Amino acid sequence: MNPFNEKGKVWMNGKLVPWKEANIHIASHVIHYGSSLFEGFRAYDTPKGLVIFRLDAHIKRLYNSCKMYRMEIPFTQDQFEKAVIDTIEANDFKECYIRPVVYRGYGALGVDPFPNPIDSAILVWEWGQYLGDGALENGVDVKISTWQRMAPNTFPALAKSGANYMNSQLIKMEAILEGYVEGIGLNVSGHISEGSGENIFLVIDGKIHTPPLSASILPGIIRDTVIHLAQDLDIPLTEEILPREMLYIADEIFFTGSAAEITPIRSVDKIKIGEGKRGPITKILQDEYFAYINGEREDKYNWLIYI
């Protein structure tokens, strides 16, 4: 189903334009060579009003991603953050998903990207539970993918690059065609990396485990959020290299991401995880996450921007 109502506004290079006019030329460098960096995060409808969750962290990661690819955004971070707010205000949504993207535009084709301009855009739309209705409560069935995540010193895994998501698409399509909701990619050493678009956490004997940045993972903002929340709740958590078989013996597993939020995994390769449903620590972290977003907790980390 098309998730777009096509009636809103899109911010492009400093101007708000009608959704259907937010177009680029077919000869733009990004179409031919995947030269785009992007972000994804949410604005929530809360009892205290519309709130953007961790706007500054996402825009900082966008700028870091662009820096790795030698793409200088022609706006300051403060200007880009204001553009996000302006775009949300220009669209009549109670809550929305936010997608800033920076890309090499129309200039010249060839692997050398430097002759092309650095363009940017921000679009917003309504997007429900990323891994399906009821996923946050019931969990999802996943498989370990036959596709590995990128090796070190090939693509920068720390960059949220459109090109990296070609690998993610292979993982996702394989999972869907085999009857699963999502796939888990391993790194080149056969250790747990992440899902096609989510970081991953395992709970074993009351302790949380998650792969480190060196496992070819994206430095997820919700991953970082969960690490902070676990510390606040005195739940032990370690970042460590994890063998794939730990997925089969974990008491709980959950994905994190701005789209997926905190989604439990109920089975891996048709092996039931725990009781085959959302586990107690996952539920505690979900509750704390949404309580923070809804303003029921002190915003001691300055994660909330109210519109």
Please count the CA atoms within 13 angstroms of the CA of 182 that sit on its side-chain side: 25
- Which residue type occupies 257? G
Cβ atoms of 41 and 303 closer than 8 Å: no
pLDDT at 92: 86
Active site residue 143: no
Q: Return the number of other C-beta atoms located less than 10 Å from residue 190's C-beta.
A: 11
Q: Which of 7, 160, 207, 300 is catalytic?
A: 160
CA distance 11 to 82: 11
Name the 3-class secondary structure at 206. Answer: coil
Please list, in sequence order, all residues whose beta carbon lies within 8 angstroms of the beta carbon of residue 200, skipping any fewer than 6 positions away: 184, 192, 194, 210, 211, 253, 254, 255, 256, 265
**pLDDT tens for each residue of the chain, 307 residues long:** 557 888 899 999 999 999 999 999 999 999 999 999 999 999 999 999 999 999 999 999 999 999 999 999 999 999 999 999 999 999 989 899 999 999 999 999 999 999 999 999 999 999 877 777 788 999 999 999 999 999 999 999 999 999 999 999 999 999 999 999 999 999 999 999 999 999 999 999 999 999 999 999 999 999 999 999 999 999 999 999 999 999 999 999 999 999 899 999 999 999 999 999 999 999 999 999 999 999 999 999 999 999 9
Beta-strand relationship, 140-144 and 261-268? parallel
Write down all domains in the chain, each with its CATH number in brackets: 9-125 (3.30.470.10), 135-293 (3.20.10.10)
Beta bridge partners of 188: none
